Chains A and B, each alone.
Chain A
């Protein structure tokens, strides 16, 4: 079995030590790392597809993500030497002020990371200004805000108001979402996009960033 195939298996099983060892083997052998990453990314897409259909569950996705992270840790110093490696974008995510519901936000952060985005996860109950400060600090492309309660939706509205008041609204794309939200509400508060569910949020953010480029 080829090293890359063994690496795929180790990644899906979440064998971090095995992933690191096999990734180092590829580096030492002078393998095309971008091609290797493409193979692993395709496997991760399959993991995501199986999660979407509930053939597997979040723990299995987390294992594969840990495996992928172990690989990237080995590849990163080599990739840094390659100026042709494309950066996909930076996304700041969190739940609105007062909102402790984190699973949707967690899934968005996880799958954005798997897809190669740099993710700054601010956690739950995030102050509106903290979204902006962190986006500025990370030079983010997108701010993603999740609200699972009608009483926390105004927290997302507040982020957009502050972006306008600070005169930095054009610097970031803003995606809002969560069970009680709607496209109509997103339009009303001036968000760039709305995503009802976490899986939809990934596609929306990808589109926003590619459109921006």
Chain B
């Protein structure tokens, strides 16, 4: 399974699929991968994104409005899998669209598409019996969130249930960029290390090269979402892919040049 972080720190890039439209999302995804994203989180737009801040709320609303469905996200994953076989592909979603699609149907379709893992924002380990069984049947990595408020016994269960990597939430709150990272993140990663040898990605609020480098000091990867989605929003459809490529290259301080397109 290709969830692996080639560089240090690794980069997990979140994009809301269908914002501004499916064709542009495809080009953005390719640009992000070629600029150095190790893992791509394909966000399924949802009408009620209660864990998200205003940036991803707006993106989600635009994508829902233009009719983006879970089917479309899976079709995009299948296309990306063919074009970029080495990139980790994660479906990032709220639970209801998956339930409506059918848990088993969804897992079968995701496996078929070549998806590597699934992260459901409102799924916690205690509720994950059927969910984990279905993911395991279809060789999909379950990725769970770990929070600064999670006590050690929960972190242990979260680590035990996770595959691929563990997603450590850097701070309390919803998604969105912040000027500074709170010290919660480093402490959480240290606590998680006691329970797992899986890579640990830190996300929520990372938006610039300094924060990216700082996370690299203690975590294996940084997950970037709202900063990318905001870049897409500001750039508009035509310039979004090149803006994303520049943004991601910039995170690594220009050390890693965008890869030459495959053809």
A binds B: no
